[in-house]
Amino acid sequence: MKILYAVQKTGNGHLARAQEIIPILEKYGDVTVLTSGSQSQIQLGIPVALDFKGISLFYGSNGNVSFLKTLFKNNYAQFIYKVLKLNVHQYDLIINDYEPISAWACKFKGGNIVALSHQSSLFFNETPKPKKIKWLSWKIFKNYAPVVKKYGFHFEEYNEQIFKPVIRKKISDLKTSNAGHYVVYLPSFSDIKIIKELKKTSANWIVFSKEATASYTANNCTIFPIDENEFLKSIANSAGVLCNAGFELPAETLFLKKKLFVIPIKKQIEQECNAFALKKMGVLTAKNLDFNLIEIWVLSNRIIPVNYTSNIEDIIEDVILENTQSNNELIFV
């Protein structure tokens, strides 16, 4: 069986999950890996046959998506060319982790494609969402990587097609302790903004920065360039994590029994939904980088218990069996 696994590189969570999923897929057939996007700071560590720029979201410096950067930094003509050129019919099954090129290629040409991603979980009615969601934001989110048949990952199993997070082995193998510091990963804020707020708190912070090219110390903050090994070591020995409201990092933080505080990226619908779900679970959230709220969190002992046991092999087996037993063509809308 020929499988195309298509994963986007906007953010690090997709690649982190792919590190666990791809070796399992290889047990079922010949796997071709397709990646697209340009906003990831970690390496997949697995050979990639097809690597495209795709369409990525770009952030500002004050916790927001920059629509101007997103509009002008993406090459839409190249994106359309790659969509039209991709031969989706050479694969028996395409598994899509919110990757737009393969999704749109199948929308135009047909193909046996299923979505297996965190984003997919947000399309189910049972998934927690804020009451007010901007129409345009939802429209963009819905049509970014359109696939009809969906399986999702989320912080809880809200229905039978939504699974708990995939905890990669690099996380589950960590030996944890509490050295008292807090880890920060807020790529939607500038380093200057982060340091300005955190220097007002009583804690020590290890900040992983998309801007820094070398480590340095400023007040109670130690700034590091993005480095996966250093990042994992820092989290394992931390008291907690302050981050945007993505999916994989908050899930891994909860798994490690660390305190968690999230700030959703403004105008990013997935993050708004994640923050809403985490708040229902008891996780502290804020709309802005507010040192007063962060200090309250630092002084608290708020750790949210979760049970994220690994069952990804069973999930992959079920997805493959459910989508390769019939040759019926999927209908796309």
- Against a cut of 0.85, is the pTM above it? yes
Determine what percent of the chain falls in helix, strand and coil, rounding each to the nearest 5: 35, 20, 45
Q: What local confidence, expressed as pLDDT, does residue 222 receive? A: 97
Q: Is the pLDDT of residue 159 over 70?
A: yes
Domain parsing of the chain, residue ranges: 2-166+310-324, 169-298
Alpha helices in 26-121 (DSSP H): 67-73, 76-85, 100-109, 118-121
Return the DSSP state at 149.
S
Pick the CATH number of 169-298 from 3.40.50.1100, 3.40.50.2000, 3.30.70.20, 1.10.10.10: 3.40.50.2000
Q: What is the pLDDT of residues 70-127, one digit of tens each?
A: 777 888 999 999 999 999 999 999 999 999 999 999 999 999 999 999 999 999 999 9
Question: Average pLDDT, stretch 142-170?
Answer: 95
Q: In the chain, how many H helices and how many E strands? A: 13, 14
User: How buried is residue 226: exposed, middle or buried, by Cβ count under 10 Å (0-12/13-18/19+)?
Assistant: middle
Q: Is residue 39 very low, low, confident or very high in pLDDT (cuts 50, 70, 90)? A: low
3-class DSSP state for residue 171?
helix
Architecture field, domain 2-166+310-324: 3-Layer(aba) Sandwich (3.40)
Asked which of 2-11, 77-86, 90-99, 229-238 is least confident by mean pLDDT, the reply is 2-11
Residues 6+ apart with CB under 8 A from 157: 163, 164
Q: What local confidence, expressed as pLDDT, does residue 328 receive? A: 43
End-to-end CA distance of the chain: 26
Question: Average pLDDT, stretch 206-216?
Answer: 93
The Cα 109–Cα 94 span in angstroms is 13
Asked which of 3-12, 82-91, 240-249 is least confident by mean pLDDT, the reply is 3-12
The Cα 308–Cα 320 span in angstroms is 22
Q: Is residue 44 very low, low, confident or very high in pLDDT (cuts 50, 70, 90)? A: confident
What is the average pLDDT score of the chain?
91
Asked which of 38-52, 209-223, 290-304 is least confident by mean pLDDT, the reply is 38-52
Tokens of 268: 């990013």
On the question of a common fold for 2-166+310-324 and 169-298, the answer reads yes
Residue 53, Cα to own-chain centre: how many angstroms?
17
